[in-house]
Structure 1
Amino acid sequence: MSSVVIAPDKFKGTASASEVSNWIEQAAIVAGYSPESIPMSDGGEGLLEALGGMRRVVWVTSPLGKLVRAEWRISGKTAVIEMAQASGITIVGGPERNDPLAASTRGTGELIVAALLAGATEIIVGCGGSATTDGGVAALAAMEPLERFADIELRALVDVDAKFLDSADLFAAQKGASPAQVVVLSKRLREVAAEFKNRFDIDVTAVEGGGAAGGLGGALFALGAEIESGFEYVARYHGLRESIQRSRNVVTGEGRLDETSFMGKAVGSIIKMAQELGANCLVVAGSATDSGRQMAQSLGAEVQVLPSTLESGSLPPPTMRSLVIRCVRDWLVTVE
């Protein structure tokens, strides 16, 4: 029996990576394939699901100062944290309800402290989906005294390779910032970088990924964290490359396919991996820009775009499920 690797990212605001995997798996079985599901994350939302562990919940400070319940995971001495659980854009109700100048990473720092107090000696922080551009200052303040992290292995998993000082220019508008606010945030990041240099003797402006989560990546780097591609970490954890090499078929997908999908994000990275390995690749997307579709096709992937209403969540789940199953099934019966 032929096999297929199923490795979607989330359809943001609509379905988790695990839910989409289940739909694709049903299509594979109907088409006569043996499915291997690997729900993916690039360090943003979905990281907890991708890496697993014992579920913990704690109250922390939201980006705009309210209390919010945030989930994290622990397995042995390793803790996994999604900064989006504490400091994410969805918590504030999206960019239109965010206050980009006030949004803080304090809650993420509180999550890291919770992991420390639970006995974790390795703390993995997924840096994606943020509402913030505070350079991680509030997170470090919540983690004081920082000396207690001297023997803790910190790892920042990032979904972009942006540098610290580029964070506001590249991403603040997506968090609701006006052009004038982007200027203010950029100035603030320059001041924070100088502060980190004076305090830690670390230049956070040079490292790739330092601009992830509004500069949180850089702040953790200043504290000694290793910055790593979230996709590469999760893919290695699950043996994704080896699975695709064996199967020669892979289905991935996300809510929106665009040029940023190829800037360290999961779906673009899977498309590139499939091309390197000579594997057949289908991308299922809720929507796609012309450039996103063209980039995927230039790398040998087939792109199936579902109705644009899918990404907004206006289609009921049974309809979404049926659309995904149909397009995956139809593709699978043609690939061999």
Structure 2
Amino acid sequence: MRILIAADKFKGTLTAAQVAGHLSGPLSAAGHAVDCVPIADGGDGTVAAAVAAGLSAQGAEATGPLGAPVTAHWARSGATAVIELAEASGLALVSESTATTALRASSTGTGELIRAALEAGCTRIVVGVGGSACTDGGAGLLQALGAELTAADGAGLQPGGGALPSLATADLEPARALLAAHGARLVLASDVDNPLLGSAGAAAVYGPQKGAGPAEVAALDAGLARLADLLDPAGELRGRPGAGAAGGVGFALLTLGAEQVSGASYVMDLAGFDAALRQAELVVTGEGRFDAQTLSGKGPGAVVRAARAAGIPVWMVCGGSEVSAAQARAAGLSGVLALTDEAPLAAALADPGPLLAGAARRLAARLGG
């Protein structure tokens, strides 16, 4: 049987390519022909998936979410750059998420990566926005590209969403001029459909994951509203699906004229998923935690939908599952193999590779290989 492995990373433990590597060996040993297409959805692992698809890895020094320098990576193919916000402004770069870090975290480093890609001659810059530590509406990103954001005292706006309520003036023209001078256009790659503000917005939905309590969520939402009033006075962008992605970085990119694309679809196209799917008789996808979000807005969910539409059986391999067997069948899955069915969670997190290989052997046995 010809099997396509199109898995996402197991966050914090294995890249998508490493997951595929652990799964492919036992399936090949059982006599199956295996193709591997690592995937991502614009969040953590997007650059790694792009590099696995053949793009060249690039490095750049950038400002981390709390101001410390980090070495971040992006990917390049000709004049196209693929930038992953999580590399420079990601929550994984914050050792402990607290109310203070939720207010201080900035997207400055992501803007610096965009500038690095511009200086390298890239004219199409795809920004994958997921896994962010910041809720600053992309203010740091805009400032890194030259936008002038000033506080009420006339000084430059301080980093972080907590500073946004003091924003007095905003001028995006220097940032727009920078992009125009390089003949560049931005692409917002995300599968998040949240608006910028309100109960479904960036602060309310994602702020608590970043350490924000109720008071911080209210302050961050008020700050984002202040930013939106200055940058989007007609209210055309703040309510657009995806404006709330990455703490409002989606909104900032939209103010600079970014095109919106599905992060999962973009990476799948980059990796040649459709061509590989046409050759497949069975698909294996997966990620660390399989839950309702997996099926609604993440890379493996896109794989499941594509395989189902093509009439090809698809299996989910995951670290742990929060989806019932009935829900999995309703989504079109032939089955789910969770590592926590075979080992405690701590063991699955500490060393998932052997457990993934074991899951592949169990799948091969079910297939009769």
Supply the distance in 2 between the matched residues of 1:224 and 1:288 (Cα, whole angstroms): 39
Q: 8 Å contact 1:157–1:229 — kept in the other structure? A: yes
Further displaced range: 267-276 or 80-89: 267-276
Further displaced range: 154-163 or 233-242: 233-242
Q: For 2:362, which of 327, 330, 333 is the aligned residue?
A: 330
Q: 8 Å contact 1:284–1:303 — kept in the other structure? A: yes
Question: What's the CA shift string for 1:100-148, capped at 9, x where partnerless?
Answer: 1111001111111111111111111110110011110110011013111
Q: For 1:70, which of 69, 72, 75 is the aligned residue?
A: 72
2:157 corresponds to: none
> CA, structure 1 residues 25+163, in 2 after alignment: closer, same or farther (shift >3 Å)?
same
Structural mapping, 1:293-332, within 5 Å: 294-301=326-333, 302-307=335-340, 316-317=350-351, 320-332=352-364
Further displaced range: 189-198 or 246-255: 189-198
Deviation of the 1:297 alpha carbon: 2.7
2:93 corresponds to: 91
Deviation of the 1:167 alpha carbon: 1.4
Deviation of the 1:235 alpha carbon: 1.5
> CA, structure 1 residues 109+285, in 2 after alignment: closer, same or farther (shift >3 Å)?
same
Scaled by the length of structure 2, what TM-score is found?
Answer: 0.84
Supply the distance in 2 between the matched residues of 1:312 and 1:224 (Cα, whole angstroms): 44
Deviation of the 1:47 alpha carbon: 1.2
Scaled by the length of structure 1, what TM-score is found?
Answer: 0.91
Q: 8 Å contact 2:41–2:262 — kept in the other structure? A: yes
Deviation of the 1:316 alpha carbon: 4.6
> CA, structure 1 residues 162+296, in 2 after alignment: closer, same or farther (shift >3 Å)?
farther
Supply the distance in 1 between the matched residues of 2:235 and 2:184 (Cα, whole angstroms): 18
Work out the number of aligned pairs and report it: 330
1:214 corresponds to: 247
1:171 corresponds to: 206
Structural mapping, 1:1-336, within 5 Å: 2-52=1-51, 53-96=55-98, 99-144=101-146, 145-146=174-175, 147-150=177-180, 151-165=183-197, 166-198=201-233, 203-290=236-323, 294-301=326-333, 302-307=335-340, 316-317=350-351, 320-335=352-367
CA RMSD of aligned residues (A): 2.1
Supply the distance in 2 between the matched residues of 1:35 and 1:13 (Cα, whole angstroms): 25
Further displaced range: 238-247 or 279-288: 238-247
Give structure 2 stretches of 5+ with no counterpart: 147-173
What amino acid maps onto 2:311 in structure 1? G
> CA, structure 1 residues 107+276, in 2 after alignment: closer, same or farther (shift >3 Å)?
same
> CA, structure 1 residues 312+174, in 2 after alignment: closer, same or farther (shift >3 Å)?
farther
Deviation of the 1:237 alpha carbon: 2.1
> CA, structure 1 residues 191+313, in 2 after alignment: closer, same or farther (shift >3 Å)?
farther
Q: Which has more radius of gyration?
A: 2
Question: What's the CA shift string for 1:136-194, capped at 9, x where partnerless?
Answer: 01100110131111231211111312222211111111111112211111112222221
Q: 8 Å contact 1:13–1:313 — kept in the other structure? A: no
Supply the distance in 1 between the matched residues of 2:346 and 2:270 (Cα, whole angstroms): 31
SS in 2 for 1:296: helix
Q: 8 Å contact 2:98–2:212 — kept in the other structure? A: no
Give structure 1 stretches of 5+ with no counterpart: none
SS in 1 for 2:240: coil
What amino acid maps onto 2:179 in structure 1? F
Deviation of the 1:333 alpha carbon: 3.8
Deviation of the 1:214 alpha carbon: 0.8
Supply the distance in 2 between the matched residues of 1:111 and 1:310 (Cα, whole angstroms): 39
What amino acid maps onto 2:27 in structure 1? A
Q: 8 Å contact 2:59–2:73 — kept in the other structure? A: yes
Deviation of the 1:206 alpha carbon: 3.0
What amino acid maps onto 1:101 in structure 2? L
Supply the distance in 2 between the matched residues of 1:296 and 1:162 (Cα, whole angstroms): 25
What amino acid maps onto 2:29 in structure 1? V
